[in-house]
C-alpha cells in the first residue's frame, strides 16, 4: 500500500487536484475508485488497532485494580492474615443513668495505639522507647510482637491525650493511632456492682451493663435509666464502709427496696471495685454479694416461721411452747443463745429469738407447709431480678424433721440477700410479692404482684417485728421518728463437719415506717468482730442493727418519709447525749 503514496504517484496527484478543486484528468473516476478502496482498507486497520488498545487498557485497569486491592489487604492483614483491625462500633452505646438522671456510665472517644511490625525498624529499640511513656507495657512481650510477621498488633488501647502526644513525640516508624470508644464510669466505685462494666469492645460483662446490653446497643444511643437513687446509694455505702471497718468484717451488703414497686433503690456489696479498671479487680471484689452470695440467714428466718404459725393457726392467743430444755431432733441438739428456760408465747419466741420455740412451731406445721410458704415467698429460687448474677439458693437434699427444725431459724438453707429482702418486702406490702427490679417504675404505672400470704398474716408478722425493735434484740436499729420494724439475724458459718461458732453472719432486716410500710432495708456483715463498744458481741443486734438504724435516719428524708414529731423521742435523745454510758444490760440475742 505504501507504493501508492510516493510523490510521483499519479493517484496522489489526482487526489491533490481534487482537494484543490482543480479539473481532474479524464481517467480520474477509475483512479478515484481505487483510492477509496485503499482508504477503506486503511480505516479498517486503524479501527482494529483501536479495539485492541481498548481491550489492552481495560485488562490493565482490572489487573492494576486487583493488585491495588491486594496491596491494601496485605497492608492490614499481612501475608499470614494473623490479625486484622477490629471494626469500629456503628452506633454509640447509650448511657446508664440513675432514677434522677445522674450519669452512671457513658462512652468517650479515645486513641488506641497499634503497630505494623513490617514497618518497624528495630523492634527492641521501639519497645524500649514506648515503655518510657507507657510504663504498663512489657518490653519483652512487645519486642516479640513487633518482631512478628504480622502487619497489625495492638500496643495499648484507650490512651489519654497526654499519652498519645508522648508516643507521637517519639517519632518511631510503624506506629499508628485510631480512635476507639471507651466506657467510662464517672462515679467510680459507687454502685459498681449494680452498674457492672463493659468490655473494650462495648459488650456488657456484668451488672446492668450486661442485663440491658440490647437496649444500650440498639436503642439509638438513648440513656437507659436504673432504679438506683445515687443519693440513697451514697449514704448506704458510707455507713457500711464505716461499720465494716469498725467491726473488721470480711464483707458488707446493703439493700434498699421499695415494697410496692420492687424497685432497688440501693445495692451495696463490699469490698467493691472501680469499673473503670475492672480488669485489675480481684475476684472477691467483683463478687456481687447482694445477688451471688448465699448465706444462712439465722434468726431472720423466724419471721417466716411466725408467718407459718399464723397461717396454719398453730399459735392461738395464750398458747405457749415449752422452751425449758434444749430440743433433741435427729441426733442434734437445738439450744437458745440466751435461754429463757420456760414456756414461751409466739410473741416471746420471736422477740427473744428462741431457736427451740421456732423449731417446735415448724415441726408442728410440717415440712410440706414450711416448704410451700418459702416457695411462695420465692426463697427456694433465684431472686427474679434482671441481673444474671442472681444465684439460686442452696437447699437441703432431704427435707426431713431435722431440716424442718433448723430451717425455722435460718440454718440448713442458704439464700441470696436480695431474695431475703424481697420476701420481707412482701410482708410489708400486705402479703403481696412484687418482683425486684433495677428499672424505675414510671409514675402512675401499675405494678403486678402476687398475693402470697394474707394481709392479716402479714400484719401480724409486722406487728411482732415492731415489738423486736421496741423491746427485743433489734433496739439498736430504732431510728427516732421513723418507727422501724425489723428482725435480727445471726448465723454461724458452716464448715466441714459442722459450724464455726467464732465466724458469724450478722444481719438486720428492717421495714419503715411501721405505720405505713414503704421501704425495706437489709444489712449483712460477714464475720464481724466484737469490740469494746459491743462488749465483745458480734451478733446481729450489736453490729448490723445499728447500721440499719443509721441508714434509715440518713435516707428517710431523701425518700420523702417525714419524721414524726415525737417529744418523748427528742427528750430521750437529749438525755442519751448528756448521760455517760451505763453498765450494759445485755438483751437476749440470737
Count of Cβ atoms closer than 10 Å to residue 567 Cβ: 7
Question: In the numeric block, which cell numbers belong to residue 277?
Answer: 479498671
Helix (H) or strand (E) holding 450: strand 450-451
Gap between the Cα atoms of 217 and 315, Å rounded: 55
Q: What are the residue ranges spanned by the domains of the chain?
A: 2-63, 96-226, 234-274+293-578
Q: What is the dihedral of CA 281, 282, 286, 292, to 10 degrees?
A: 170
Asked if residues 229 and 98 have their Cβ atoms less than 8 Å apart, the reply is: yes
341 vs 142: CA distance, rounded Å: 73
The dihedral formed by the CA atoms of 56, 60, 61 and 63, expressed in degrees to the nearest 10: 140
Instruction: Look up residue 414 and give its DSSP letter.
Output: B
The span from the CA of 558 to the CA of 555, in Å, is: 5
What pLDDT tens digit does each residue of the chain (590 aa) get?
Answer: 444 344 445 545 544 544 454 444 444 455 544 544 545 555 566 666 677 766 676 667 665 665 555 555 545 544 443 345 555 545 789 999 999 999 999 999 889 999 999 999 999 999 999 999 999 999 999 999 999 989 999 999 889 889 999 999 999 999 999 988 999 999 999 999 999 999 988 999 999 999 999 999 988 889 999 999 999 999 999 999 999 999 999 999 999 999 999 999 999 999 999 999 999 999 999 999 999 999 999 999 999 999 999 999 998 777 899 999 999 998 889 998 878 889 999 999 999 899 999 999 999 999 999 999 999 999 999 999 999 999 999 999 999 999 999 999 999 999 999 999 999 999 999 999 999 999 999 988 989 999 999 999 999 999 999 999 999 999 999 999 999 999 999 999 999 888 999 999 999 999 999 999 999 999 999 999 999 999 999 999 999 999 999 999 999 999 999 998 655 555 544 544 444 444 444 444 55
The residue count for the chain: 590
C-alpha cell at 76: 492490614
Q: By C-alpha distance, which of 431, 473, 130 is closest to 299?
A: 473
Helix (H) or strand (E) segment spanning residue 136: none
Q: Count of CB atoms within 10 A of residue 321's CB? A: 21
Contact 513, 535 (CB under 8 A): no
> What is the maximal distance between C-alpha atoms in the chain?
155
Give the torsion sign (CA, 283, 288, 292, 295): positive
User: Sign of the CA dihedral 150, 155, 161, 163?
Assistant: negative
Q: What is the pTM of this model?
A: 0.79
- Distance CA(205)–CA(225), nearest Å, equals 18
CATH class of the domain comprising 96-226 = alpha beta
Neighbour count for residue 204 (Cβ, 10 Å): 23
- Can you tell me whether residue 187 is helix, strand or coil? coil
Catalytic residue among 251, 299, 416, 422: 299
Q: Is residue 227 annotated as part of the catalytic site, yes or no? A: no
Topology of the domain covering 234-274+293-578: Beta-lactamase (3.40.710)
Q: Assign residue 132 a region (left: φ > 0; alpha: ψ between -120 and 50; beta: otherwise).
A: alpha
What backbone torsions phi and psi does residue 138 show, to the nearest 5 degrees? -105, 120
Amino acid at each position: 500500500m505504501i507504493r501508492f503514496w510516493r510523490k510521483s504517484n499519479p493517484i496522489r496527484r489526482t487526489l491533490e487536484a481534487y482537494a484543490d478543486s482543480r479539473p481532474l484528468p479524464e481517467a480520474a473516476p477509475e483512479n478515484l475508485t481505487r483510492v477509496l478502496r485503499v482508504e477503506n482498507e486503511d480505516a479498517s486497520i486503524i479501527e482494529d488497532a483501536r479495539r485492541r488498545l481498548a481491550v489492552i487498557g481495560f485488562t490493565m485497569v482490572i489487573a492494576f485494580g486487583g493488585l491495588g486491592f491486594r496491596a491494601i489487604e496485605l497492608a492490614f492483614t499481612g501475608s499470614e492474615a494473623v490479625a486484622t483491625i477490629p471494626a469500629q462500633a456503628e452506633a454509640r452505646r447509650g448511657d446508664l443513668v440513675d432514677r434522677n438522671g445522674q450519669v452512671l456510665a457513658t462512652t468517650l472517644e479515645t486513641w488506641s495505639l497499634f503497630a505494623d511490625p513490617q514497618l518497624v525498624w528495630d523492634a527492641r529499640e521501639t519497645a524500649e522507647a514506648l515503655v518510657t511513656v507507657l510504663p504498663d507495657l512489657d518490653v519483652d512481650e512487645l519486642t516479640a510482637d513487633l518482631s512478628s510477621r504480622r502487619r497489625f498488633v495492638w500496643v495499648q488501647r484507650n490512651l489519654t491525650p497526654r499519652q498519645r502526644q508522648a508516643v507521637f513525640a517519639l517519632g518511631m516508624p510503624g506506629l499508628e493511632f485510631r480512635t476507639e470508644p471507651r466506657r467510662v464510669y464517672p462515679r467510680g466505685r459507687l454502685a459498681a456492682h449494680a452498674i457492672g462494666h463493659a468490655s473494650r469492645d462495648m459488650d456488657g460483662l456484668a451488672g446492668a451493663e450486661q442485663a440491658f446490653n440490647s437496649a444500650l446497643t440498639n436503642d439509638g444511643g438513648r440513656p437507659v435509666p436504673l432504679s438506683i437513687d445515687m443519693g440513697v446509694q451514697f449514704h448506704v455505702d458510707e455507713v457500711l464502709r464505716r461499720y465494716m471497718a469498725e467491726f473488721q468484717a470480711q464483707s458488707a451488703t446493703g439493700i434498699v427496696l421499695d415494697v410496692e414497686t420492687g424497685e432497688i433503690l440501693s445495692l451495696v456489696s463490699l469490698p467493691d471495685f472501680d469499673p473503670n479498671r475492672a480488669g485489675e479487680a480481684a475476684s472477691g471484689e467483683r463478687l456481687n454479694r447482694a445477688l451471688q452470695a448465699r448465706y444462712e440467714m439465722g434468726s431472720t428466718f423466724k419471721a417466716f416461721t411466725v408467718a407459718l404459725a399464723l397461717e396454719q393457726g398453730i399459735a392461738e392467743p395464750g398458747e405457749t411452747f415449752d422452751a425449758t430444755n434444749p430440743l433433741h431432733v435427729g441426733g442434734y441438739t437445738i439450744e437458745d443463745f440466751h435461754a429463757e428456760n420456760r414456756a414461751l408465747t409466739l410473741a416471746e419466741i420471736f422477740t427473744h429469738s428462741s431457736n427451740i420455740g421456732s423449731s417446735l412451731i415448724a415441726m408442728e406445721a410440717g415440712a410440706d407447709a414450711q416448704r410451700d410458704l418459702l416457695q411462695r415467698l420465692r426463697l427456694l429460687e433465684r431472686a427474679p431480678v434482671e441481673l444474671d448474677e442472681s444465684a439460686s439458693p442452696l437447699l437441703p437434699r432431704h427435707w426431713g424433721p431435722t431440716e424442718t427444725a433448723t430451717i425455722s431459724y435460718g440454718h440448713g438453707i442458704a439464700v441470696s440477700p436480695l431474695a431475703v429482702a424481697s420476701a420481707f418486702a412482701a410482708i410489708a406490702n400486705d402479703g403481696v410479692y412484687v418482683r425486684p427490679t433495677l428499672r424505675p417504675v414510671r409514675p402512675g404505672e401499675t405494678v403486678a404482684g402476687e398475693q402470697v400470704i394474707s394481709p392479716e398474716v402479714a400484719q401480724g408478722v409486722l406487728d411482732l417485728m415492731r415489738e423486736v425493735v421496741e423491746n427485743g434484740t433489734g433496739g439498736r436499729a430504732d431510728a427516732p421518728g421513723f418507727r422501724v420494724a425489723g428482725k435480727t439475724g445471726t448465723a454461724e458459718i458452716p464448715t466441714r463437719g459442722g459450724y464455726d461458732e467464732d465466724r458469724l453472719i450478722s444481719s438486720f432486716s428492717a421495714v419503715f415506717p411501721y405505720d405505713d410500710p414503704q421501704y425495706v432495708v437489709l444489712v449483712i456483715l460477714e464475720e464481724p468482730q466484737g469490740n469494746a463498744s459491743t462488749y465483745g458481741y458480734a451478733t446481729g443486734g450489736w453490729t448490723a442493727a445499728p447500721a440499719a438504724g443509721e441508714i434509715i435516719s440518713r435516707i428517710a428524708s431523701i425518700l420523702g418519709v417525714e419524721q414524726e414529731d415525737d417529744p418523748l423521742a427528742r427528750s430521750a435523745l437529749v438525755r442519751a447525749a448528756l448521760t455517760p454510758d451505763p453498765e450494759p444490760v445485755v438483751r437476749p440475742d440470737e
